[in-house]
Amino acid sequence: MNQEDMLYCQKTIDQYDRTIDKNEQIPDDQYPPWEKFLLPYLKEGGHILDLGCGTGHYSLVFQRLGFLVSALDASAACCRIASEKLGIPVQNLRFDQLSDIALYDAVWACCSLLHIPRRAMPDAFSRIAAALKPDGYVYASFMEGDEEEWREQMGSFMANMTEESMQTVLSSVPTFRIMNIERTPCLYKEGRQWIHFIMKKTRSA
């Protein structure tokens, strides 16, 4: 990442570190069941990387379903909470520090990659492709739209995504093929929706 991208990312990380409180987490029953989008593509007991795991909700969902889960997050505070919840070490890494090779059957990136500028996403998806086993899958979700901006009221950077902009990102990462796209309403922004991508690694990274 260039210096401007790193500034946006670090400001977002700092905000999570300041505001995350394990006693004020979203109750599990208030999380949407978005795991349903990836589950049809998974083999029993497969290895999933939760990329940008936050406090570990979806990691725990996959653990309880019998999958082997690894997790990482750029926020040290989130890592501590997720590690306690999951009973495993959670790596404190940014997306551009992912260096695993052919370890995972799937990568779960739920509302996490949206925190980096779109121009940094080809590198992130290239690293995800390298981390996946052959024929592995990646799930990634974003707010649908063209906006890409620092959200002062939230203290975080957010890059929205459309089908067209994802195709542009993936034009630099030909190892991925989009298998499915789903949309769900955003419950806190009237008239907006989340867009969910399922992609498959089709060639060696």
Q: In what order do the strands lie in the sheet with 104-109?
A: 91-92, 68-73, 47-51, 104-109, 132-143, 193-201, 176-185
Q: Is the pLDDT of residue 21 over 80?
A: no
Neighbours of 203 (CB within 10 A): 11
Nearest to 127 by CA among 173, 58, 196: 173
pLDDT of residue 20: 79
Expressed as residue numbers, the domain containing 64 is 3-21+30-201
Neighbours of 46 (CB within 10 A): 18
Rounded CA separation 183/80 (Å):
31
Distant-in-sequence, close-in-space partners of 84: CB < 8 Å, separation ≥ 6 = 22
Please report, for the domain that includes residue 81, its CATH number: 3.40.50.150
pLDDT of residue 190: 79
pLDDT of residue 137: 98
Q: Is the pLDDT of residue 205 over 50?
A: no
> Domains in the chain: how many in total?
1
pLDDT of residue 132: 98
Which helix (H) or strand (E) segment holds residue 51: the answer is strand 47-51
The pTM of this model reads 0.91
More confident residue, 10 or 193: 193
